[in-house]
Structure 1
Amino acid sequence: MPIGSTVDLTNSSDALVRARQRAVLLPDLLVEARRIVSTVIAGWHGRRRRGIGENFWQFRPFVDGEQVSRIDWRRSARDDHVYLRDREWEAAHTVWLWADPSPSMRYQSGAAQVSKESRALVLVLALAELLSRSGERIGYPGVVEPVSARNAAERVAAALLNERPDTRFPPDDRLRRFSEIVMVSDCLDPLDDILAYVDKVGRRGIRGHLVMVADPAEETFPYAGRTEFRDPEGGGRLTAGRAETLKQEYTELYTARREILSEHCRRLGWSFIFHRTDRLASEALVALHTRLSGVPQSAGQRS
């Protein structure tokens, strides 16, 4: 973090200080999350998946091996093809939500109106609100066990007021096969550690969605002149006489990190979204909901 724009976070590493600041933020963040949901909810009807429900979903061509009893003869009589009637999956699904609690998430440059932590929590609460309206079971690792309730977002917010484990990654002891997890983080931990965690969870049959949230300054590196950079977690400092000389190497490393994470997620069948805090939170929410609905992502997905 550059002293040039003076954002001093060294005292914020204290867990009690962060907890108190979070307690002040969360009520407003819940209101903001609900406002965002209200702007994007029109016309959405949950995550539609083929399954064992009663509601009609789609017609699709019959293929060898399918159950003949599922053929829709009325639709098939319209032309020379045989069609099956698919029904929508209606069983409740467990989605775990997690926002990175690291001190680095509190960074906010002059180019953004919110910190990475605020944006991450708004996305998590908005997604909890949206998914709970669709009947999904929502949980927060180490804080809230999966619950199917219309007020899931409120429950998560209330629980985070009192308890939020300061762990580098979500506790995974309660994650079960066929569930999903949404992780919102700045992904600034050692790259090997992030990849190892994603591998461990993904290989257990858990589908994941990684949202890399960034302050615009972290991608564009707008610093010049004598600048002191301070690590909000370890307290380390780096003084650059001409910060602009670091820009090319820094941006190459930052871009490479993002591309490695994106490709690793793709190989595991996870989704990856890059989101900047100077963009609308609703953009990331729509992208997340689309990924949770099983729609394939485009290469280099941004929001």
Structure 2
Amino acid sequence: MVAPGAHGLRRAGPGEDFWQYRPASQGDSARLIDWRRSARSDAEFVRDRESQTAQAVGLWISAGQGMGYAGASDRPSKRDRAHLLALALAMVLLRGGEKVGLLGQPARAGRVQADRLAERIAAITARDGDGDAPAPDQLRPNQRLVILSDFLDDPAWVDALLARAAGMGVTGVLMQVLDPDEETFPYAGAVLFRSLSGVIRHDSRDAGGLRDAYLARLADRRDWLRRRATGAGWHFGHHTTDHPPAVALSWLYQVLAG
């Protein structure tokens, strides 16, 4: 597994990873000399390490009403799972020395920031509408961004976000979080479909007859998101709430370090 945390700048400086040997020069103290390497020649050599910097990561979690859906009482809602993933990812990144913050708020490092993020994520409240979108003007140059959403509402905001991100050197991840019922559409017979906000309603007499069309549209939406993400130099992933969160967390952890 590739640890996030400090990222090499490909130049000599403070860090942990070996960069290069160079001949010692006036001003280098004796403690900087690599005596083992120097013993193999008539000159003294210094072992340079690669300069590293903490990476700023922004987290955004959809607060749309639709994220409150859970298809069964023994499963978490999409919102609860997205909050868990965001907080767990933040803890891992902070442990690696990263600066982390919710989008639109300062990204900081350290244990105090972990407590602060836990409080702020828990305080996120649902919006009035079914969908939600991040504000592109909250992006900051060269940060990495993790977007957690079900992406079931109008996706036009994704294009706007990625276009602005490209001009600012912002890269990141789109992570789709769905309930397994939204993945398989296990309905049959007469079913009243209603969005959690109550704005959208559809009374079907043959829900099973809608399954193929629904699954095709879901696949199209997922392919669209993947193409948009890849074209912008981002990553796209998806997670279902009946799967272990550790799998999604591990994937997020690795792609952010890539």
TM-score grouping bracket, smaller chain normalisation: 0.7 to 0.9
1:200 aligns with 2:169: no
Residue number among 86, 91, 98 corresponding to 1:136 in the alignment = 98
Report the equivalent of 1:272. Answer: 236
Task: Look up the match of 2:108.
Answer: 147
Distance 1:133-1:239 versus aligned 2 partners, 3 A rule: same
Aligned to 2:220: 256
Aligned to 1:224: 188
Alignment gaps of 5+ in structure 2: 24-36, 41-46
1:276-295 to structure 2, matched below 5 A, reads 276-294=240-258
Q: Which residue of 2 aligns with 1:30?
A: none
In the alignment, which residue of structure 2 is the partner of 1:97? 59
Alignment of 1:25-44 (within 5 A): none
Q: Distance in 2 between matches of 1:48 and 1:161?
A: 28
Offset, 1:131:
0.6
Corresponding residue for 1:120?
A: 82
Using the size of structure 2 for normalisation, the TM-score is 0.80
Measure, in 2, the Cα distance between the counterparts of 1:89 and 1:210. 30
* Structure-to-structure mapping, 1:162-177, within 5 angstroms: 162=123, 166=127, 168-177=132-141
Alpha-carbon offset, residue 89 of structure 1: 5.0
Normalising to structure 1: TM-score of the pair?
0.69
The residue number in structure 2 matching 1:159 is 120
Matched, 1:180 2:144: yes
How far apart are the structure 1 equivalents of 2:87 and 2:48?
Answer: 32
Matches within 5 A, 1:21-100: 45-47=3-5, 49-51=7-9, 52=11, 53-55=13-15, 57=17, 87-88=49-50, 90-100=52-62
Q: Which digits, 9 at most, give the CA deviation of each residue in 1:256-291, with x for residues without a partner?
A: 100110111001100111111111111011000110
User: CA-atom RMSD, angstroms?
Assistant: 3.0
Contact 1:184-1:210 at 8 Å conserved across structures:
yes
Match of 1:65 in 2: none
- Do the aligned partners of 1:138 and 1:146 also contact (CA within 8 Å) in 2? yes
CA displacement 1:143-163 (0-9 Å, x = unmatched): x42111124232112134456
C-alpha displacement at 1:172, in angstroms? 3.6
Q: Distance in 2 between matches of 1:215 and 1:267?
A: 27
In structure 2, how many angstroms separate the alpha carbons of the residues matched to 1:275 and 1:282? 11
Q: Confirm whether residue 233 of structure 1 aligns to residue 194 of structure 2.
A: no
SS in 1 for 2:161: helix
Residue pair 1:111, 1:278 contacting (<8 A) in 2 also: no
Identity %: 33
